[in-house]
Structure 1
């Protein structure tokens, strides 16, 4: 399972870099779709975790993921409407959705401590991959100043989410639950 998590986490950063290699980076419309898809993938995983976990800490984390990522998505949707940009599906957003669907399918087969560990392990890897994509591709490629500002503004939340997930990961490892 860990090998799959690492591969999935790396897919986000690699797909974003690959998308940029062909044409100096994704367009603003493609970035908008990547942002919305990346957040929706985490919202979906968070909702599953809210309904499955028995851990108070994991449930609280999952609720935070749903709330925060829903907020980022709303900001992104509001901005693209304001800018009259239609999000454009691309290989990166499709890869994210495919990986998110695979993650949900894998998580649905688990319960108890195994579920909690797999969910939190994935959250650590996923947030690191999102940060790598933001830093290496999305922020540098954004042409619109407001879109770039939104990406820069939400970055600290992804750092906080990754660190919170790492903390939970460590505590789950110690307790075995």
Structure 2
């Protein structure tokens, strides 16, 4: 009696991919794998690095809210928290669509950066934080410009292109605030 039931289950399972393929659909796991394998390695790396960078921007902004002395630095930090949190959500949705895992925790290197900065307070914190924000946004703009130009995937290219004006604005703001606190 068990054999006919097992045979029916196996037959149904074997016919599922064929029936969904015939309907022009793929099972979710198969679709995620197809998206993952379609993404160029450089596009994948860009998404992963952008995700880590966004997490770092938010975490450092939160730290600046606690430790900065300058109201300008605190305003800049809040802007980083707000803008990069929103950008991180868009990036996470894109990465999930493309089958790229998005880390929710900072890398060891970024944790060390946060730890080093957390040892400073007041004006010393302001100078170091804003110096890092200038350097970081210079790197971000360069990486996003490259992805906007060279990404193979149209969605990755569009994400980089639409994020660039905001990152350029952040860089200009970071330079302006850094000039006030250095």
| TM-score class normalised by the smaller sequence | 0.7 to 0.9
TM-score normalised to the size of structure 2?
A: 0.70
Matches within 5 A, 1:1-177: 26-81=41-96, 83-87=97-101, 97-136=107-146, 138-173=147-182
| Inter-partner Cα distance in structure 2 for 1:69 and 1:88 | 15
Cα RMSD (Å): 2.2
Q: Which structure exhibits the higher relative contact order, with contacts defined as CA atoms closer than 8 Å and separated by 6 or more residues? A: 1
Residue 87 of structure 1 deviates from its aligned partner by 3.2
What stretches of structure 1 of length at least 5 have no aligned partner? 1-24, 90-95
What stretches of structure 2 of length at least 5 have no aligned partner? 1-39
The CA deviation string for residues 54-109 of structure 1, in whole angstroms up to 9 with x for no partner, is: 3211111001001101111100111233x3422378xxxxxx83442222121111
| Inter-partner Cα distance in structure 1 for 2:82 and 2:135 | 20
Secondary structure of the corresponding residue to residue 178 of structure 2: helix
Which consecutive segments of 4 or more residues in structure 1 shift more than 6 A?
none
| Inter-partner Cα distance in structure 2 for 1:44 and 1:148 | 26
Aligned residue pairs total 142
| Inter-partner Cα distance in structure 1 for 2:50 and 2:111 | 16
Residue 162 of structure 1 deviates from its aligned partner by 0.8
Residue 51 of structure 1 deviates from its aligned partner by 1.2
